[in-house]
Amino acid sequence: MNKIDNAIKTVHHMDNHANHNGYLNKIHPLVKLLITIIYIILLTSIDKYNLVTTLAMSIYLILISIIGDLSIKNALKSLKVVLLLLFILGIANPILDRTIITYIGIVPVTTGMISMFTLLLKGIFAILASYFLILTTSIEEICYALKMIHMPNILITVVMLIYRYIIVFLKEVQRIWVAYQMRAPNQRGVHYKAWGSLIGSLMLRSIDRAQVVYESMELRGFDPDTFFIKKEKAGKKSWIYFWLMLILLIILRFVPIFEIIGGVFI
């Protein structure tokens, strides 16, 4: 099943990338998380007709991809589904919002077209920002950052456990699927007669496994209230990065820098 293979590859790829020794990987996770959240808030707060500022926000992503040596091309591949969803949602805008603002040749440009384009760009940029965060920050580091902003330990432990067991279950589901396909060739999905038994048996095994996991965790001294690996606080380098990025984001969002640059050439 391609979907499962792709999911396994995605998790492995991101895990490997997050453990690289790049410049962005060394920045404190809390700083990266805060900058990403600020970026998304500033991006989504842009007016729906403000295409220029939306385009300007791409500068942050380009800079991040250069600093962190990250591939935008690879990131864009994972956007197909989201883009389709946003397109479906945005397609109503050119139909219902038809005020003509200018012409490109004989083709009229309407406010609806602009708002649809802005919506698609916002969608792409917001996902790329989160994608770059996870490419340079491991899940443990993100959980650590969440812990620093006082997210309860129970929730963090659950997130970490889910993440750790995702690969195990994806591989198990993949094995079940292969075994099923070999017994039922040329079948698109699971036959309705096997719906309950196929997943139900895996579910029962999962619950049993959870008990074993709990016992082994308890033997190692697990306590959800005290459990967490302590890490260093954000260093000077991380805070310099934070302030520089914050200033950049504010400039991109609130200063008409591109009108100024464009004005020089026109």
Partner 1 sequence: MHMADAMISPAVGATMYVASGLVAAYSIRKIRKEEDFKKKIPTMGVMGAFVFATQMVNFTIPGTGSSGHLCGGLLLSSILGPFAGFLSMIGVLLIQCLFFADGGLLALGANVWNMAFYGCFIGSLIWKLTMKKGMTKRRIILASLVGCVLTLQLGAFSVTLETLASGITELPFGTFVATMQPIHLVIGLIEGVITAAVLCFVYEARPEMLWNGIQKTEKQAKFSYKKTIAILVCLLVIIGGGMSLLASSNPDGLEWSIEQITGDTEVEERNDTAHETAESIQSATSFLPDYTFKDSESTIGTSVSGIVGCVITVVFLMVVGYIIKIKRNKGNTVNEQN
Segment contacting partner 1 by CB under 8 A, of 24-32, 49-57, 234-242, 243-251:
49-57
Q: Please report how close the Cβ of residue 245 comes to partner 1 at its closest, in angstroms.
A: 15
In the list 99, 105, 226, 229, the residue contacting partner 1 (rule: CB under 8 A) is 99
d(CA 8, CA 43): 31
The two tokens of residue 18 are: 């997050």
Task: For residue 234, give the nearest of 38, 33, 59 by alpha carbon.
Answer: 33
Segment contacting partner 1 by CB under 8 A, of 23-31, 97-105, 228-236, 240-248:
97-105
d(CA 246, CA 162): 32
Does position 203 bind partner 1 by CB under 8 A?
yes
Residues 133-192 that bind partner 1 (CB under 8 A): 133-134, 139, 142, 152, 154-155, 157-166, 168-170, 172-173, 177, 187-192
Q: Please report how close the Cβ of residue 168 comes to partner 1 at its closest, in angstroms.
A: 7
| HSE of 27, CA atoms in CB hemisphere, 13 A | 27
Q: Please report how close the Cβ of residue 98 comes to partner 1 at its closest, in angstroms.
A: 8
d(CA 42, CA 25): 24
Taking each helix axis as running N to C, give the angle between helix 58-67 and helix 111-136, from 0 to 180 degrees, rounded to the nearest 10. Answer: 20
Q: How many residues does the chain have?
A: 266
Residues 204-233 that bind partner 1 (CB under 8 A): 204, 206-207, 209-211, 213-214, 217-218, 222-224
Task: For residue 226, give the nearest of 158, 155, 153 by alpha carbon.
Answer: 153
Residues 63-92 that bind partner 1 (CB under 8 A): 63, 65-66, 69, 78-79, 81-82, 85-86, 89-90, 92
